[in-house]
């Protein structure tokens, strides 16, 4: 905790400026303070951007091998602090300490460093096309703005490719997830990156985001967050014609085909939705079920929810921790109430906290059925443990319902065979589709269509976001 009230700027820990504001870090499981951070003011933002600007030319000129050696040191230092990282993530956003935090959340950061190293080693930074040499060069100073729900996944899928590409950066993690960011800054300091390459400030996104996005010294902005935040960044960046990469919200459909193994398909869909307490942008939040099998699907969903253990993230038996913060908890509760008001059938869960969990931002795993696409709960990203089940008459209608959304981040199809699922997947207007329970793969691009964002992250595609293209024409 020694550096929690400081920023990391120009290779060292610095005290916040006089215009910074204190902010309590609240453990969502206990509602107790985990410490205090300062939210950056204009002077802090200015110092961080200038440090990145001053460091850019020298860092961009380094040979690729030197930058990759830095990533290798970063990977080793991160591996050594993996347990500290899991602990920080669990305390700041409530992920079960011995399960999700230690086995998935913290290791995802490590996975992105490794995937970036593999992508960069094989990447063609220079190629010949006709009489021209086409070069991929660092985009410049990058502002990285990240959320609280998958802290290290979303931070390191930006930081790692930025380093590999030769960009310098200012990271603004969520003020609700500062503990893991602090650990990362310590890791980066230990890895020995040149001063100014990586700079970190805490801050309120609504205030600091526009400062970063509009500053002419910043060349690109990479944001993971809400659609509202993405629109704000795009508008603020427009006057200086910045590159903007946005990974935003989702309301992903999960189509269960008529001939699928229903016990397996529905069970997997419910479990996947409730993972991370429903706080994943790509969660399968709309389950589309054949109308004549809706009652069967409801029964399976209720059985799965009954077995989900909601509780203290420190308890090894806990599967679902709390909602990450009070603001989001209140939003989830209001949308559950809205679903009841709209006339959806409550299969399990509902408003309020689970029995015996009065302290903390705990929510009941909730499933609504008989939902139609005009209901708010079918259209809004709830970002909590809430699944909506929607009946369809035939596969054409299922595809139409799935595509009738402002979002297009991910999709899920479960059929009797992978081939059957793939035929339906080809018709979905989404950036990703999971077939028959398939998991994510870090080398593959992550991102979506429509209001779900612009650009892609992860692997080679994530590296390209931090590169500009130059054609050098030869006589």
Between the alpha carbon of residue 389 and those of residues 134, 254, 354, 440, the distances in Å are 50, 9, 22, 23
Give CA–CA dist 131/152, Å, rounded: 43
For residue 260, with 0-12 CB atoms within 10 Å meaning exposed, 13-18 middle and 19 or more buried, which class applies?
Answer: buried
Packing angle, helices 205-214 and 42-60, rounded to 10: 40
Q: Using CA of residue 199, residue 468, residue 214, residue 25, what is the dihedral sign?
A: negative
- How far apart are alpha carbons 142 and 219 in whole angstroms? 6
Contact 329, 383 (CB under 8 A): no
Query: Which DSSP category does 125 fall into?
Result: S
The one catalytic residue among 34, 175, 236, 247 = 247
Assign 399 to helix, strand or coil.
helix
Short-list 423, 153, 404, 96, CA closest to 281: 153
Q: Count of residues for the chain?
A: 475
Q: Is residue 247 among the annotated active site residues? A: yes
CA-CA distance, 43 to 18, in Å (whole number)?
8
Alpha-carbon span 174 to 1, nearest angstrom: 17
Q: Quote the CA–CA distance of 260 and 247 in Å, as a whole number.
A: 31
| Helix runs in 275-390, H state only | 294-306, 326-341, 376-379
Q: Classify burial at 289, counting beta carbons within 10 Å of its beta carbon; exposed 0-12, middle 13-18, buried 19 or more.
A: buried
**DSSP-derived 3-state class of residue 446:** strand
CB distance 53 to 66 below 8 Å: no
Q: Exposed/middle/buried for 129, CB within 10 Å: 0-12, 13-18, 19+? A: exposed
Active-site amino acid positions: 247
């Amino acid at each position: 905790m020694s550096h929690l009230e400081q920023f990391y700027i120009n290779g060292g820990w610095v005290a916040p400026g006089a215009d910074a504001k204190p902010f309590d870090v609240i453990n969502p499981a206990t509602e107790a303070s985990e410490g205090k951070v300062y939210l950056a003011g204009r002077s802090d933002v200015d110092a961080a951007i200038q440090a990145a600007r001053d460091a850019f030319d020298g860092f961009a000129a380094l040979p690729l091998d030197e930058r990759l050696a830095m990533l290798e040191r970063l990977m080793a230092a991160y591996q050594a602090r993996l347990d500290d990282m899991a602990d920080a993530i669990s305390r700041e956003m409530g992920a079960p300490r011995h399960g999700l935090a230690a086995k998935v959340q913290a290791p995802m950061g490590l996975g992105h460093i490794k995937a970036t190293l593999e992508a960069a080693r094989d990447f063609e930074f220079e190629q010949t096309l006709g009489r021209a040499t086409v070069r991929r060069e660092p985009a410049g100073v990058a502002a990285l703005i990240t959320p609280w729900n998958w802290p290290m996944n979303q931070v390191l899928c930006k930081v790692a490719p930025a380093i590999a590409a030769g960009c310098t950066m200012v990271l603004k993690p969520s003020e609700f997830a500062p503990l893991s960011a602090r650990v990362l800054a310590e890791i980066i300091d230990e890895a020995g990156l040149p001063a100014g390459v990586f700079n970190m400030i805490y801050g309120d996104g609504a205030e600091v985001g526009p400062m970063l996005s509009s500053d002419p010294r910043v060349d690109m902005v990479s944001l993971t967050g809400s659609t509202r935040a993405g629109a704000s960044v795009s508008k603020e960046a427009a006057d200086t014609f910045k590159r903007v990469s946005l990974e935003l919200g989702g309301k992903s459909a999960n189509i269960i085909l008529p001939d699928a193994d229903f016990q397996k398909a529905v069970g997997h869909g419910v479990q996947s939705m409730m993972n991370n307490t429903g706080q994943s942008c790509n969660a399968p939040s709309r389950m589309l079920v054949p109308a004549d099998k809706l009652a069967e699907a409801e029964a399976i969903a209720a059985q799965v929810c009954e077995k989900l253990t909601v509780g203290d993230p420190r308890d090894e038996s806990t599967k679902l921790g709390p909602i990450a913060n009070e603001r989001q908890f209140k939003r989830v509760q209001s949308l559950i109430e809205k679903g009841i008001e709209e006339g959806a059938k409550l299969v399990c869960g509902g408003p309020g906290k689970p029995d015996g969990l009065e302290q903390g931002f705990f929510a009941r795993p909730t499933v609504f059925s008989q939902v139609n696409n005009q209901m708010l709960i079918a259209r809004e990203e709830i970002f909590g443990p809430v699944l909506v089940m929607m009946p369809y008459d035939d596969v054409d209608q299922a595809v139409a319902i799935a595509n009738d959304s402002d979002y297009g981040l991910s999709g899920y199809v479960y059929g009797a065979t992978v081939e059957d699922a793939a035929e339906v997947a080809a018709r979905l207007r989404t950036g990703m589709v999971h077939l028959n329970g398939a998991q994510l793969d870090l080398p593959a691009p992550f991102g979506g269509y429509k209001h779900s964002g612009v650009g892609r992250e992860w692997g080679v595609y994530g590296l390209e976001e931090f590169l500009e293209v130059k054609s050098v024409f030869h006589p």
